[in-house]
Amino acid sequence: MIIDCHGHYTTEPKDLLRWRKDQVDNVKEPAKQPAKASLKVSDDEIRESLEGAQLKLQRERGTDMTIFSPRAMGMSHHIGDYNVSLAWSQLCNEMIHRVCALYPNNFIGVCQLPQSPGVSPDSCIGELERCVKEFRFVGCNLNPDPSGGHWTAPPLTDRWWYKLYEKMVELDVPAMVHVSASCNPCFHGTGAHYINADTTAFMQLIMADLFKDFPTLKLIIPHGGGAVPFHWGRYRGLAINNKRPPLDEMMKNNVWFDTCVYHQPGIDLLTKVVPIDNILFASEMVGAVRGKDPQTGYDFDDTKRYIDGAQGLSGDDKKKIFEGNVLRAYPRLKSKLSARTAARR
């Protein structure tokens, strides 16, 4: 089975975007905020939004299932206050739940958290519990920088985050460490802010003992781990200089990188330097880079091709990347897949 651990609803129905615009336009006037009931999206509109995009690409590229979450750029936790973020997150998560209900063999949900700058992550616990217990989602997206490029939150290893981590461990769900839009003009959203955040998160993990406090906490760092694989020697050296554990020991059962790397040399490097047990297949489709690579004639985000073509990977290595590792990173996924298999019999 080929499981894509990183998909976003980037083709969402137009009325969801209309609702968000109404919310943002009235962000300073709570009385004018749109009611949830004002969102009008039919099941047919959801089907239409997926059939010509994610579902079509799944079929064409030979993937089986996508771990699916709301549009990452759209989370925009820097907009408004906590109540704005909560209403928006709930609506987006409910939309993902509807997608998964319509296509249970193609999508499994991951939730957006209602983070807000300066607000304790404890405030996200209620929505996380709702999504895991009621919607049976298997994880969450955790924004390490709700300020949108100004980095006002404490490092991910700070105790400020601990109650949320305690709940994640209790629920047995991982977090993908994923920033949202950048409101800092110095940082392009997908080209700089995303990669900055991935790299920053990994360095924070190197320098602290988070996994001594939470030995079963699981974090996925997307976009191939940012700059880390290319500078693997730098981070190994920094770990040694600071008397920290070796990188593979630190990552072991707690940290994974995904394969949202959009060229063959990048995947070749990733699979050579990062432990195979800590790599998850992902494409981010329909994602940050759209269209065909003129050098190959294939879509940039057709990442399965790169895994298939990576030299030095054995059949067992590819099976780990495509399926085995994701079942370790997302413990609830295995039981959901087993239940679906039993239901088909």
Q: Do residues 275 and 281 lie in contact, with contact meaning Cβ atoms separated by under 8 Å?
A: no
Q: Do residues 54 and 160 lie in contact, with contact meaning Cβ atoms separated by under 8 Å?
A: no
pLDDT in tens, 96-145: 999 999 999 999 999 999 999 999 999 999 999 999 999 999 999 999 99
Whether pLDDT at 344 is above 90: no
- Percent over 70 (pLDDT), the chain: 98
How far from 50 is each of 24, 41, 129, 169, 244, CA to CA, in Å?
Answer: 26, 13, 27, 32, 45
Whether pLDDT at 205 is above 80: yes
340 vs 345: CA distance, rounded Å: 9
Whether pLDDT at 288 is above 80: no
The pLDDT value given to residue 177: 98
108 phi/psi in degrees, rounded to 5: -130, 135
242 vs 205: CA distance, rounded Å: 13
Whether pLDDT at 277 is above 70: yes
Q: Which residues are catalytic?
A: 284
The pLDDT value given to residue 290: 86
- Name the region of 149 (left: φ>0; alpha: ψ -120 to 50; beta: rest): left
Please give the mean pLDDT across all residues of the chain.
96
Whether pLDDT at 339 is above 80: no
Q: Do residues 146 and 78 lie in contact, with contact meaning Cβ atoms separated by under 8 Å?
A: yes
Whether pLDDT at 215 is above 60: yes
3 vs 141: CA distance, rounded Å: 17
Q: Do residues 267 and 307 lie in contact, with contact meaning Cβ atoms separated by under 8 Å?
A: yes
How sure is the predictor about 338, in pLDDT bands with cuts at 50, 70 and 90? confident
How sure is the predictor about 325, in pLDDT bands with cuts at 50, 70 and 90? very high
The pLDDT value given to residue 345: 55
pLDDT in tens, 156-166: 999 999 999 99
The pLDDT value given to residue 342: 62
- Alpha helix positions (H), 242-345: 247-251, 264-273, 303-309, 315-319, 325-329, 331-344
The pLDDT value given to residue 336: 81
The pLDDT value given to residue 31: 93
CB atoms under 10 Å from CB of 236, counted, come to 16
Element (H, E) at 197: helix 194-206
pLDDT in tens, 157-199: 999 999 999 999 999 999 999 999 999 999 999 999 999 999 9
The pLDDT value given to residue 341: 63
Whether pLDDT at 286 is above 60: yes
